[in-house]
Amino acid sequence: MKCCHRVLSVAGLWLIAAQSVLAAPIYDNGVVVGVDPIAFGVADFDASNQVVDDFSLAPGQTTIRSFHWTGIYRTSDTPTGPEAFWIRVFDQEPSGEARPRFDPIFEQVIGTPIVVPRTDTGVTLSGSRIFAFSVDVGSPVGLTLAANTPYWLSITADTSADTDDNWAWINKGGGNSRQRSADSSFWFSNGQTFDFVLDDAFLTPEPSSGLLALLGLAGWLVLPVRLRRRNS
Ligand SMILES: [Ca+2]
Ligand SMILES: [Ca+2]
């Protein structure tokens, strides 16, 4: 029994460590669904519209491992999914108005066969359910950017297969977001703040690193027992 209690406590410690890592956003764009007055911005290749909003990371918190955001399907709210999402990070034009460059410095396309988890938040907007989306990025190492540097995040769906809905990203009024109609088009002012959170933890800990942590803790806990036995 002593042995089993020890194993359970080690597993418990590892779970606590994993949960504390998961709750570590390194950037929050400050939109709270269910609290803030919100609206939406269509971000869908099927509707020829992309939107983008800026962020900056603090020193020591520059590796993004998961993205979290919210959106709706309108106007029928009957998503066929899993649709593909294009997650793109742009750096900023060096001069003039603050806006992203034309081409992203990072792009991750997510969709079939990788399903983006879609969770109903219980809040509706214009008759559509607001869904929360989360996905790992840059596995297994994540996406490392420079600190204190302006970047722009764009999340665009492609609901071409869904003829009565287009996907829209949740936002709140006021801000410096931008929009464009196509990859080759100019980013012009959109003036909103889009809902996203950047986290430095993967949604699920990497199995290898989890196992290593477990073995390390097990060794740390077992060692004193062995020493005690040897000395007795
Ligand atoms: Ca902004
Ligand atoms: Ca569509």
Cα distances from 60 to residues 35, 106, 145, 187, in angstroms, run 30, 20, 11, 30
What is the pLDDT, as a whole number, of residue 225?
Answer: 47
Residues 80, 36 contacting (CB under 8 angstroms)? no
Closest-approaching ligand to the CA atom of 44: 2
Mean pLDDT of 53-73: 97
Q: How far is the CA of 47 from the centre of ligand 2 (A)?
A: 7
Q: How far is the CA of 149 from the centre of ligand 1 (A)?
A: 13
pLDDT in tens, 99-127: 999 999 999 988 765 567 789 999 999 99
Closest-approaching ligand to the CA atom of 52: 1
Place of tokens 């410095």: 105
| Structure tokens given for 148 | 């204190």
Q: Which residue has the higher pLDDT, 169 or 21?
A: 169
pLDDT in tens, 69-110: 999 999 999 998 666 899 999 999 998 889 999 999 999 988
Q: How far is the CA of 69 from the centre of ligand 1 (A)?
A: 14
* Ranges 15-29, 145-159, 182-196: which has the least confidence: 15-29
Q: How far is the CA of 222 from the centre of ligand 2 (A)?
A: 58
Answer whether residue 189 shows pLDDT above 60. Answer: yes
What is the pLDDT, as a whole number, of residue 212?
Answer: 52
Task: Find residue 154's DSSP bridge partners.
Answer: 88
Note the pTM of the prediction, 2 decimals: 0.80
Report d(CA 15, CA 216) in Å as an integer: 14
Report d(CA 189, CA 52) in Å as an integer: 10
Label each residue of 6-65 as H, E or C: HHHHHHHHHHHHHHHHHCCEEEECCCCCCCCCEEEEECEHHHCEEEEEEECCCCCCCEEC
Q: How far is the CA of 159 from the centre of ligand 1 (A)?
A: 25
Q: How far is the CA of 224 from the centre of ligand 2 (A)?
A: 62
